[in-house]
Structure 1
Amino acid sequence: MSHLPLRAQVASALGRTAATLSRMTGQGDGSVIGGRVGLVLEPELLSILARNRKLVLVSATNGKTTTTRLIASALAELGDVATNAFGANMPAGHVSALSQNKHAPNGVLEVDEKYLPEVLDKTRAEFVCLMNLSRDQMDRSAEIWLLAKKWRTAVQGSSTHVIANCDDPLVTWGASSADRVTWVAAGQRWKEDSWCCPECGGPLDRKDADWACRECPLRRPQPQWVLDGDAVIDPYGQRWPLRIQLPGLANRANAAMALAVAALYGVSPDRALPRLAEVKSVAGRYTMVERNGRQARLLLAKNPAGWLEAFDVTDPSLPVILSVNAQVPDGRDTSWLWDVDYRILAGRPVFVTGERRLDLALRLYVAGVPFQLMDGFEQALAVVPPGRVDVIANYTAFQQIRAEFGRAV
């Protein structure tokens, strides 16, 4: 820290102290409060801490925490990596991450979609990884077309190298203004937010993975990296089997993005893949916890696209507990529940809990899915027969469940 100005040194040290006290008193993991304290004392602390570091920023509606973890694991081949592993993805969390690992020359930071332009401007990151955009917290972030436009403005004229998912038209439009873009065909199963061209508003024609605007030149770019089933094909045509422990197609897409970023950073797939295979869970996601003979697997789903991916990894033979809140971090508006096709749960024992359990119960009733309404997660878990159970929860509901098990990671 000696290379930092004195004011920044003091701000960073006091921020770390605040974070430590937060952890010691059980108030949280300290990944936000430490950064807030530091930024009050030195408003430019993020820019100062980012100097002389090689950084990757990771942003998306879904999968950014997992992809950040995968990239950080791959870059560990090069030495220490500063990262916000627990998902504190706004500037205060970034300050905490860089301050806590003050000597790490490399950093991988998950960034909230809304804050990406500000964080890129502050950090001058060398790489930006953009994966997907879909409706999420509309009361806070507004229409996702506006987010894509902000991304497009942020990377235009920037020296950063963008790694982007070319299967998502909104991401493609947002990234295409950058001078340097590496395109990854990582897939896009949720298409309900991108049937219209973000450039001109015309209809998008889709055929298999390809897409093109019917009324302007915008179309899917030719990818350099391709997710192909259980493998990734690199720019040289070499096929790399993905042997990761994280389940589902979405995580194979996350791994494909991580491999592309790592390769540009200087870590080849043969060195990165073993690192990716070590990751079993991410900030509680996919963790198996046990209580009174029940083994519960925790899955996070914050929006319609996320629920689609969560359904992909659940076991149809198991009961499922669904928990939905609508606190500030979730977004107050639960109308998105009506965009999720819950009929896939028909035939399974379904238990509904969370602060907005009545909203979810009405949605299931209309979908014709039988369920049992529970007052809380503990009650739901107690009613489930001994054995395995899947748990799907949105953000604050997920964190509450994690807290009941000691914030399992």
Structure 2
Amino acid sequence: MKTLDQIAAELQGYDPAALHAATAGEFLARLVEPLRETERVGIFDALDRVLAEDVISPIDVPPHDNAAMDGYALRAASLADEGDTVLHVVGTCYAGDARWAHAVPPDGCVRIMTGAVMPEGLDTVVPVEFVRSEAGQRVCIPAGVVQAGDNRRLRGEDLMAGRAALRAGQRLGPAALGLIASLGIEHVSVVRRLRVAYFSTGNEILSLGEPLREGAIYDSNRYTVYGLLRRLGADVIDLGVVRDEPVALEAAFRRAAAQADAVITSGGVSMGEADHTKALMRRLGDVAFWRIAMRPGRPMAVGRMLDDAKTSPTVLFGLPGNPVAVMVTFLAFVRPALLRMMGARDTAPVLLRARSTQAIRKKPGRTEYQRGIVTRTADGVLHVRTTGNQGSGVLRSMVEANGLIVLDHNRGHVAVGDEVDVMMFDGVI
């Protein structure tokens, strides 16, 4: 296992006092390792879990040629090139019935329902709304309404037996659960849940239920981090609010390291704050303190803590204390790192492009994450505007926003109409 110094030496331009956001992401990608422990779970327990091995399809999907819609199954060769085609209806096929067992004459067709097995020799379905029925005995089909093979699903066109339906490292969403079920598979092998402990630090922080006193504020970060971790599918361990006192802090860190794969703290890593938290981090593990060239969320600590009872170290993320900075640093750095620990293959946040409806002041030399509101115009173009005040303590702005406007390190001012990257919140916050 490489030390933090060894990882830093591999990164060009690494400067902990003025770290580029992109370099911080590269550092964390090298710091964290995927969990190795796996378990088998039923489909209902697999949502948001990460596959530990490929899911191989045991069957063809669909298992037979079938009708893609209600209509009439026929031979395309029976259709006239010009004028109407009149065919005799020789029977009806329903979804769930066995394959049609009778021969269909060249001038015949079969009434068929969506999902029903295609009769032998028939290759096309004409939708019911395209034909004229004559007393249910015959149908009249205008020329050109269908072509050979229309509205027929082929056996195995979705998945073929013996091929991978899902790959290891995929995080299972609702669609993936349905896909697994369509294969007749009840259980899948997944990476065990990531265990993450978190706590807030500071003598000015109050837990809910405590009376408000002058100079103190209620803790919001624990509840935000809890929500972010639950959305991620992690097992969360809430260690509450810890006073900025050496004995209490050390007990909290040791308890967290003993129980969790990763620990998240908020507060206590800024340059001007009391140094109990930072001193303990240094003493208990291999920790780097960063001043990231970003706004908001400049101070951050990362590293590893060792526990004698565990074979692998616990990863530490020390986040700033301001509520917005906590969320931004989590989304930009912590979430991708935790996804990697969970074994996920795709960890980088997806960025959309939107046109700014306002001018945004920005100095080159840092990455900025501004809270934005994305809308879509009638012509389908995405537009974005800021929520206004971008102070790192304005928690309300994160509620109003539906994404973060990401202005990269070298970018300058944004003019009206310029395209910008947006990290959307949907499903994350």
Same fold (TM over 0.5): no
TM-score by length of 1: 0.26
TM-score by length of 2: 0.25
Instruction: Compare CA radii of gyration and give the structure with the larger one.
Output: 2
Q: Relative contact order (C-alpha < 8 Å, sep 6+): which is higher?
A: 2
